[in-house]
Each structure stands twice: as C-alpha cells, then as structure tokens.
Amino acid sequence: MTYSNVQRVRILYKTILRLHRGLPKELSELGTKYVKDEFKRHKKCRKEEAAVFIDEWTNYAITLTKQLGLKQLHSENKIGCTLRESDLEKFRDEQIYQLHELMKASRSDKESSQ
C-alpha cells in the first residue's frame, strides 16, 4: 500500500500528537501546541522545504519513541537532545526566535510548577 504525501504528513502529525500523551503534562501541552502551529505554518511550503520538514519531524518522532520506551516515560530517561551549533546555523531567524520563545515557555512552566 502506498500513501500520498498528504496521508504521510497526516500520519506523522497524529503519531507525534499520540507520542506527546506519554510526556509529563506541561511538556505535552507545550509540545502539542508547538507541533500544531508548525504543521499549520508549513501546509503550503515549497516541495524542498517540505522534504526537510518531514525528515526532521520524523527524526523527532523516532527519538521521542526511543526516549519514551514501551510504557510511557520512565523518570530516569532524558527527554530531548542538545542542539549542536552546526544545527543552529541552519535555522532561519524566525526559527531561532521560535526556539527562544519555546525555551522561555518551558522554563516558565517549570518554574510555576515548583
């Protein structure tokens, strides 16, 4: 069975949202909001940009699947990964801004829960 590009994107999107259910509540809410926004913003992007977008989100889903394990998040598992400077250099200004805003939001959620 072969899927169209739209079907593949939809499956990836739903997979990521499902994976977010295994995260702690604050991370799940923040991550889900971010994913929905990113997928909406890229609905009408160019083909080349779409390929990179799908690859990166697929890698994210694979990484999150490994980190969550079979039965949700284990407290000793680290969530996420460190971005290398070479990765950051590939980002557009808008993406750097979004990353900064995401970092601020995650820190404020962490501080408010303590």
What does the pLDDT look like over 33-92, one tens digit per residue? 999 999 999 988 888 888 999 999 999 999 898 888 755 545 555 667 777 888 778 877
Q: DSSP class of residue 19?
A: H
Residue 50: inside a domain = yes
Residue 113: inside a domain = no
Q: How many angstroms separate the CA atoms of 31 and 39, rounded? A: 12
Residue 38: inside a domain = yes
Residue 91: inside a domain = no
Q: Give the domain range for residue 30.
A: 5-81
pLDDT at 30 over 70: yes
Total domains in the fold of the chain: 1
User: Is 12:58 a contact under the CB 8 Å cutoff?
Assistant: yes
Question: Residues 6 or more apart from 9 whose CB is under 8 A from it?
Answer: 39, 54
Residue range 25-31: average pLDDT?
88
pTM confidence score = 0.68
